[in-house]
Structure 1
Amino acid sequence: MLINAILFVPRILMDERYDGAILSMILGPIIGGIFMYIFTSSMLKFRGQGLPEILKQSLPKTISIPLLLLLGSVSFISGALVLINYSFIVSRYLIPKTPIYIPLILFVMVASFGALQSTKTVLYSTELILVLSLPLLLFSIFKAYTNQNMNFDEVRAMIDYTWILPSWKSLSVSTYAVTGYISLAIFNRAFTGVQTIQHRWAVPCLGFCILLTAFFVPIGILGTDGVNDYIFTWVATADAVRMKYAFIERVVYIFLLIYLGISYLFAMTTWHVGSEMISGCLPGHHANTSAVNSVLPNAICCAVFGIGTVIVGNWLGEDDLFTVSSYWMMIRSPIDIVIVLSVFMLSKWRKTL
């Protein structure tokens, strides 16, 4: 959810703002919330097991191995797009004379190191980064809403376009904001004693609020037509907000620092999930151990996809990146649906514990 506020979602939804983007932000969290409830309820029936173990027990190798390779690659690509995107932002706003591949190599190395840690270590890192980042992020959003340049007339003007049917692109993007539950395919290994997950209703509600903020705040500050002039819409929005607190005047520096941590968190999580998915194809692989046959396959996966990320990031332009991201989200949505329905059917076939 949080990564959407600065990266792909605002820019893509801005392009669709007159063609159903608002209705997609209403339907997306609802659809995503339904699939989240189905997936999490199904995974809880496989206590302490990840998706690799579930597929190995339930399906033949001719089906389970290609499926794990596909899901692992999907997770790696998601993290790679975020790293490339944030590298473009850093290269443009902080180190404009530095080639894009230099910050990208550094981000890939750090994300790979985090992804190679155990599942519980990744979860603890998630808690720590969120605790440090969320207060500053909420403060930045508050300053944006209360900024003197925030024009709510521009926001009200968009209400006329609320009931236009959304395209598959905008609906896929809005649904993507609440698809973090897919990571439970690996993190379920850490939840051995959990009987149920409480307050799941809050996830689509938070996703809806974040989507509205990511969409309407740039329109209110930059204008309904002015948002077209910026590639990284939310960075330009944060740069338009000023405050007078000691030596801090521009919100954009706080904003970029917050999203440095959140981008690392997202890449670490998705690459950890991806490496565990692909390594799960190996017959002698043991998850979350320090054995060579556990760590080495994960390291190879991160190295291969890390090199690919640097090559693709150095080759793509900023406009190309958003085009690729748009098509990627349109492709990923059906894959997520297949994952959810597959786990749901396998949970129905499983005997009650």
Structure 2
Amino acid sequence: MAKNRYFYCLFVMNTLINILNFTPRELIDARFDGAQSSILVAVAVGTLFIYLFTRVIHKFPGQGLPEIFGSALPKLLASPLIFVYAVLWYMAGTLILLSFVDITLRFISPDTGPYAIMFGFLAVVCLCSRIDSLSLLYGLEVTLGITIPLILYTIVKAIINPDFSWDAVLEVMTHSLHAPDLNSIAAATFTFSGYINMAVFNRVFHGLKLKHLWILSLEGFLMLLITFFVPIGYHGTVGIERHVYTWFSTADSIRIEAFLIERMLYVFYFACITLSLVSAIIQWHVGKELLLSLLPSPSGKPKTKLLQELVILVLFASGALALMRLDQYNLNMLGVFLQHIRWYGEMLMIGLLFWCYWVVRGRRE
């Protein structure tokens, strides 16, 4: 069974992925219209969601979402819900892949065909998402051990750089009293959403017991502040509007003295692509497991299970390739829409888990 530290690994993975695309863009768009107050609301809401989720999932040791829903909800309700959540997890992983194809073309290799990059990503994600849940958690822990120092180094280099403008940060802070913005809250709460992967990974936990919740709250708060203020300090309160991937533009502005690699961009890209591929693997693994639970159980027939997994992964890959037709504007709109759906989906899942617990407890009594 997995140790409790792997729950923290899932949380940290999500907070670091948070700096790549949609969250910083939404917060920066609302920098004069409530982004700061939205961050405070998101920290409170995200912490509350983690507390409620871990309290209830602890009551179902070794069970994932399909087993919990199947034991307490009618099949006509449980199956559609599981299917919808599987699609949401699949879309979360797919958006990460689509974003990194665009990032690779813009910053690293503009002469490479986008489909060649996507096929490389899909080969890795499809093969690795078939790995069992516990092994994926081991791999995630190793990946974080490699990428966290690199990302922290990038953040420190950005903040202590003489080109960093504290005046721009202070200018934006004068707008802190604006009312929260719903889009910003939905985007910022994504920082705290790593816990939701326990919908499948709880199968390898023997009764999750979360301690020191304030550490998660503090980490999420600090990451949101860094995600929001560091690009503004580099590009200015107005100039930041011209950048789509604000953190990669920031990393591209930093130089490393007395090192083999001069541009910080390459170090930051290596750390982020490693973490992003692992995140996409975990998202597709969860989506795959949810869909497998809707199919007839192939107990004692490994070839049947393999065939089911291959069919699901082929559909996943085909959908990702089809979505490559979206331009940057439509991709961003889809990302914002899914941020809202994810947030509401988390509320619904927590409510349903409490309902399932009450139903199961009532049957025992």
TM superposition score category, shorter chain reference:
over 0.9
Normalising by the residue count of structure 1, what TM-score does the alignment of the two structures yield? Answer: 0.95
1:271 and 2:281 matched? no
**Among candidates 13, 18, 25, match of residue 39 of structure 2:** 25
Q: How has the CA–CA distance of structure 1 residues 273 and 133 changed in structure 2, closer, same or farther, with 3 Å as cutoff?
A: same
In structure 2, distance between residues paired with 1:170 and 1:270: 23
Q: CA deviation at 1:228?
A: 0.6
Match in the other structure for 2:11: none
Report the counterpart of residue 325 of structure 1 in structure 2: 335
Structure 1 segment 1-353 matched on structure 2, within 5 A: 1-192=15-206, 194=207, 196-285=209-298, 291-313=302-324, 315-351=325-361
Q: CA deviation at 1:79?
A: 0.5
CA contact (8 A) 2:39 2:185 kept: yes
* Paired amino acid for 1:127: E
CA distance 1:195–1:7, shift in 2 (3 Å): closer
Is this contact kept in 2: 1:279–1:298, CA < 8 A? yes
State the alpha-carbon separation in 1 of the partners of residues 25 and 52 from structure 2.
30
1:265-303 CA distances to partner (integer Å, 9 max, x unpaired)? 1101111111111111123156xx982343332332222
Q: Quick check: 97-106 or 39-48, which moved more?
A: 97-106
Q: Is the 8 A contact 1:116 1:299 kept in 2?
A: no
How well do the aligned residues superpose, as a CA RMSD in angstroms? Answer: 1.6
Task: Return the alpha-carbon distance in structure 2 between the equivalents of residues 264 and 211 of structure 1.
Answer: 22
For the 8 Å contact 2:192–2:220, the answer to whether it is kept is: yes
Query: How far apart, in 2, do the equivalents of 1:27 and 1:285 lie?
Result: 45
Gaps of 5+ in 1: none
- 1:149 CA displacement: 0.7
Unaligned runs of 5+ in 2: 1-14
* TM-score, length of structure 2 as denominator length: 0.92
Q: Displacement, 1:101?
A: 1.8
Deviation string 1:84-128 (CA, Å, 9 cap, x unpaired) is 001100011111022222211211221111111101111111101
Superposed displacement of residue 14, structure 1: 1.1
Letter in 1 for 2:111: K
Judge which range, 291-300 or 197-206, deviates more: 291-300
**Residue type matched to 1:273 in 2?**
V
For residues 162-186 of structure 1, the C-alpha deviation after alignment (integer angstroms, 9 at most, x for no partner) is 1211222111001111111110011
Identity %: 31
TM-aligned CA distance change 1:235 to 1:290, over 3 Å: farther
> For the structure 1 residues 183 and 290, does the alpha-carbon distance in structure 2 shift closer, same or farther, using more than 3 Å as the test?
farther
